[in-house]
Amino acid sequence: MMMPLRQDRAQPTRQLSHAEPVEIWKARKFIEQHSDEELSLTKVAKAVNISPNYLSEKFKKVTGVNFVDYVARIRTEKARDLLEDVDLRTSEIAFAVGFQSLSQFNRVFKKLFRKSPTEFRARLLKRSTRQRTRKPAR
């Protein structure tokens, strides 16, 4: 199962024998900070002052994930955290984290977590209800 990157981890998806190139580090940071906005390879490349082709090639080589998949992973990771808030609708979460459509969000989320956002939330709620009703051990 392909697990998304955690926001709080500052490491690429695969172990590297050398340091991450600074332009890729800057690109990843830019993506994480602006993931709720419309992002393109060109926009990120411009932000880190390199060509889009070079960024695309280098990004995949260093992280093991292509640009589009990386952005989707960052967004779904943020969405996963927001799904704990039952007052937010799934559609609100999808748009808040930067997806352009609810169907795209559902498709990407299910691909990464093997369940829909609704199923994921239901499991979270079931788990938290179970924990609240459990009596402490003596």
Nearest to 110 by CA among 86, 68, 64, 79: 79
Structural domain boundaries, residue 52: 20-64
CA distance 90 to 74: 17
Question: How many domains does the chain divide into?
Answer: 2
Burial of 80 (0-12, 13-18, 19+ CB in 10 A): buried
How many CA atoms lie less than 13 Å away from 78 in the CB half-sphere?
A: 20
Q: What is the structure's pLDDT at 113?
A: 93
Which of 64, 97, 117 terminates a domain? The answer is 64
Confirm whether 15 is domain-assigned: no
Nearest to 36 by CA among 77, 89, 87, 84: 77
Q: Does one domain contain both 100 and 117?
A: yes
Q: Does one domain contain both 106 and 129?
A: yes
Contact (CB, 8 A) for 78 and 70: no
Contact (CB, 8 A) for 54 and 45: yes
Q: What does each of the 138 residues of the chain score in pLDDT, given as a tens digit?
A: 444 454 444 444 444 446 889 999 999 999 999 999 999 999 999 999 999 999 999 999 999 999 999 999 999 999 999 999 989 999 999 999 999 999 999 999 999 999 999 999 999 888 877 777 765 665
pTM here is 0.77
